[in-house]
């Protein structure tokens, strides 16, 4: 039996869900973007799968380890659960062609602007690609979305929940 396909929202992490203050890997230093948690809940409530796709070259640069990224994502998931929201999967790419740590020094099909994190999720989950979007804050995010066949939308700041509502329900007045 084939699973029902659902639309998905792919969120970039740094600069979209949380403030991009350099290489964020500590829970005490993560600052949520205004409305970020509520944006995830809005997507959940609308029946969307929710994914996070994030380049984490800080691992390759030796600033932190992969377990720090995983621990931060677990903490983010717990924070979201506190308001009844969830992320279906967190994907990250620790690789960088100029890495100081040799095992991470490579060109990766998962590092945005390459679409690998997105296409890996498309293989694992029943995603309706035509109704799915990626929200990112950089051109590389949108390039990855385009390469995966997903519509990319640039988020340039403000309240993320209002932004997501305006994308999901374009005709509604969201009261800015």
Is 120 a residue of the active site? no
Task: Give the phi and the psi of residue 154 in degrees, each rounded to 5.
Answer: -85, 125
Q: 80 — alpha (psi -120 to 50), left (phi > 0) or beta?
A: alpha
The CA radius of gyration of the chain, in Å to the nearest whole number, is 16
Tens digits of pLDDT across the chain (176 residues): 567 999 999 999 999 999 998 899 999 999 999 999 999 999 999 999 999 999 999 999 999 999 999 999 999 999 999 999 999 999 999 999 999 999 999 999 999 999 999 999 999 999 999 999 999 999 999 999 999 999 999 999 999 999 999 999 876 654 44
Q: Which has the closest alpha carbon to 131: 49, 8, 11?
A: 8
Q: For residues 87 and 73, give the distance between their C-alpha atoms in angstroms, rounded to a whole number.
A: 10
Q: Which residues pair with 136 in a beta bridge?
A: 154
Q: Which has the closest alpha carbon to 33: 175, 163, 172?
A: 163
Looking at residue 80, its pLDDT comes to 98
Question: Catalytic residue among 14, 88, 137, 141, which?
Answer: 14
Looking at residue 176, its pLDDT comes to 41
Is 88 a residue of the active site? no
Structure tokens at 2: 């084939």
Residue matched to tokens 């203050």: 21
Beta-strand runs (E) in 56-128: 89-93
Residue matched to tokens 């949520």: 32
Structure tokens at 71: 């621990």
Question: Catalytic residue among 12, 88, 137, 141, which?
Answer: 12
DSSP 12: P
Task: Give the phi and the psi of residue 144 in degrees, each rounded to 5.
Answer: -65, -45
Structural domains of the chain in order of their starting residue, each with its CATH number: 14-131+157-168 (3.40.50.1000)
Task: Give the phi and the psi of residue 24 in degrees, each rounded to 5.
Answer: -80, 120
pTM, rounded to two decimals:
0.94
Structure tokens at 89: 């999967």
Residues 6+ apart with CB under 8 A from 53: 10, 11, 12, 13, 91, 92, 112, 117, 118, 121, 134, 144
SS3 42: helix
């Amino acid at each position: 039996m084939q699973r029902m396909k659902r639309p998905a929202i792919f969120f970039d992490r740094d600069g979209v869900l949380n403030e991009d203050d350099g290489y964020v890997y500590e829970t005490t230093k993560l600052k949520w973007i205004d409305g970020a948690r509520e944006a995830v809940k809005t997507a959940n409530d609308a029946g969307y799968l929710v994914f996070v796709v994030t380049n984490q070259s800080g691992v390759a640069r030796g600033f932190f380890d992969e377990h720090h990224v995983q621990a931060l994502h677990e903490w983010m998931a717990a924070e979201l659960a506190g308001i009844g929201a969830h992320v279906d999967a967190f994907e990250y790419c620790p690789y960088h062609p100029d890495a100081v740590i040799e095992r991470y020094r490579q060109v990766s099909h998962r590092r945005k602007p390459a679409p690998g994190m997105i296409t890996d999720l498309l293989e694992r989950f029943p995603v309706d690609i035509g109704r799915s979007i990626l929200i990112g804050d950089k051109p590389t995010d949108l390039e990855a979305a385009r390469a995966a066949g997903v519509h990319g939308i640039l988020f340039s700041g403000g309240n993320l929940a209002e932004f997501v509502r305006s994308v999901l329900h374009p005709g509604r007045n969201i009261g800015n």
